[in-house]
Amino acid sequence: MTYQQTLHYLYSQLPMYSRIGAAAYKEDLHNTIALCKALDNPHTKFKSIHIAGTNGKGSTSHMLAAILQQAGYKTGLYTSPHLKDFRERIKINGEMVSEDFVINFVERTKTISEEIQPSFFELTVAMAFDYFEKEKVDIAVIETGLGGRLDSTNIITPLLSIITNIGYDHMDILGDTLEKIAAEKAGIIKPGVPVVIGEYLPETKNVFVEKALQCKAPVFFAQDGYAVSNVKYSPQLLSCYVTGTDQNVTEYFELDLNGLYQTKNICTVLCAEGILMHYGCNITNEAEKLALKNVKKLTGLYGRWDVISTNPTIILDVAHNEDGIKQLLHQLSVVHRTSNTVHFIIGMVKDKDVSKVLSLLPKNATYYFTNAHIDRAMPHKDLQEKAKAFELHGDSFDDVNEAIKAAKLNAGQGDIIIVCGSVFLVAEIV
CATH 3.90.190.20 domain range(s) in the chain: 306-427
Please choose, from the candidates 209, 43, 45, the residue with its C-alpha nearest in 3D space to the C-alpha of residue 142: 43
Classify 221 as helix, strand or coil.
strand
Rounded CA gap, 394 and 158, in Å?
Answer: 48
The hierarchical CATH code for the domain 3-299 is 3.40.1190.10
Q: What angle do CA 412, 413, 415 make, to 5 degrees?
A: 70
Weakly modelled stretches of the chain, pLDDT under 50: 17-20, 24
Please choose, from the candidates 374, 402, 413, the residue with its C-alpha nearest in 3D space to the C-alpha of residue 24: 374
CATH 3.40.1190.10 domain range(s) in the chain: 3-299
Q: What is the dihedral of CA 401, 405, 406, 409, to 10 degrees?
A: 170
Tens-place pLDDT, residues 83-111:
999 999 999 999 999 999 999 999 999 99
Residue 212 CB coordination number (10 Å): 20
Name the CATH architecture for the domain at 306-427.
Answer: Alpha-Beta Complex (3.90)
| The pLDDT of residue 170 | 57
In degrees and rounded to multiples of 5, residue 223 shows phi and psi of: -70, -20
Residue 171: exposed, middle, or buried by beta-carbon count in 10 A (0-12, 13-18, 19+)?
middle
Tens-place pLDDT, residues 42-59:
999 999 999 999 889 999
Q: What is the pTM assigned to this prediction?
A: 0.92
| The pLDDT of residue 14 | 80
| The pLDDT of residue 383 | 98
